[in-house]
A = this chain, B = another copy of it.
């Protein structure tokens, strides 16, 4: 049985999303067990609305008296809300009761509490956020997406190792290709950190592809795109922004007049079909890599289907024992590159 703890009160939609998504996931996966964490009374009431007879008691409610708000400062969430649904859900992973935790709560708080409770893997300075992104070929993975700024070459090497292990273990790719995000200007091929990182990656045992540019992300040039969280976050949000702009423009052009509105109804299947290919929901569930345990961050505004995807991702990572696998590989890789990183970091 794969046990996953869910921060049932996290996110913009709380129970209205986490409970039905959890029930759906239990129906989808016979090997799944869920701890719903939050106020016992209200969770019980909510669960009563669903037919859970066939689920063979594959879930349990764990009480937590507090909730981390979406705008709580991470430090406040960490120090003042020790009985929050988020904290208790993470505690279950720490105590080995659950193999993974899922939360749609605020990212900063989730990262801070996860680091404090679970600690980072030996050799990893800071965890990184990795997500799947759609490509012309299927999907790729990118990290870090905003947990770290000013990453040095050793940090970026760690991201590469973590991403590579996670992808090879969860996606059945033997040696995932790893690309380092850079810019295309000829004589200014990247900054110093990027050049140092490229050296480390060349000497690593990873399947290093070389530099990739912003548009390579969506071409699917590599399996893992590595970058500092500053660029990663900006690239991701810029992409989301332009996708929203395109969607709004399409919608607008199909509502211009009566004929077009009618046309939109007929064209709907084609437009839906297109959307399903780059459906953000399908890509919900970012991984906090580098922790001694599996933590999955769902979008705060996720709907039921989206949150289901985050639970599915937690189940896969828990099953693959990602955290242990990363720990093994990191030690091996960092040992090997110690003389290189020493050189790189002294500059």
- Residue numbers of A with Cβ under 8 A of B are 73-75, 106-108, 112, 134-136, 146-150, 181, 183-188, 190-192, 213-219, 227, 229-231, 233-246, 248-250, 252-254, 256, 260, 263-264, 266-267, 269-271, 273-274, 277-278
Contacts and interface: CB of A to CB of B under 8 A. Distances in A.
Contacts of A254: 270
A274 B252 contact: yes
A264 B235 CA distance: 32
A180 B234 CA distance: 12
Given A183-B149, A231-B230, A250-B274, A244 B263 contact: no
B253 A240 contact: no
Contacts of A245: 134-136, 218, 278
A273 B184 CA distance: 32
Contacts of A184: 146, 233, 237
A265 to B, nearest CB: 11
A191 B253 contact: no
A235 B181 CA distance: 11
Chain A to chain B: the 5 pairs with minimum beta-carbon distance, closest first: A214-B237, A215-B241, A218-B241, A214-B238, A108-B186
A234 B245 CA distance: 19
Q: How many protomers of this protein does the assembly include? A: 2
- Please report whether the interface of chain A is mostly helix, strand, loop or mixed according to DSSP: helix
Nearest to A148: B188
Contact of A218 (B191, B230, B244, B267): B244
Contacts of A106: 186
A278 B264 CA distance: 20
A271 B271 CA distance: 11
Contacts of A186: 73-74, 106-108
A49 to B, nearest CB: 34
Nearest to A234: B214
Nearest to A220: B245
A234 B183 contact: yes
Contacts of A230: 183, 190-191, 231
A218 B148 CA distance: 24
Contact of A237 (B192, B213, B233, B269): B213
A86 to B, nearest CB: 14
A35 to B, nearest CB: 27
B231 A278 contact: no
Given A106-B186, A239-B241, 15 more contacts: A108-B185, A136-B248, A146-B184, A146-B185, A149-B183, A185-B233, A213-B233, A214-B234, A214-B235, A215-B238, A238-B239, A246-B278, A250-B271, A252-B274, A253-B270
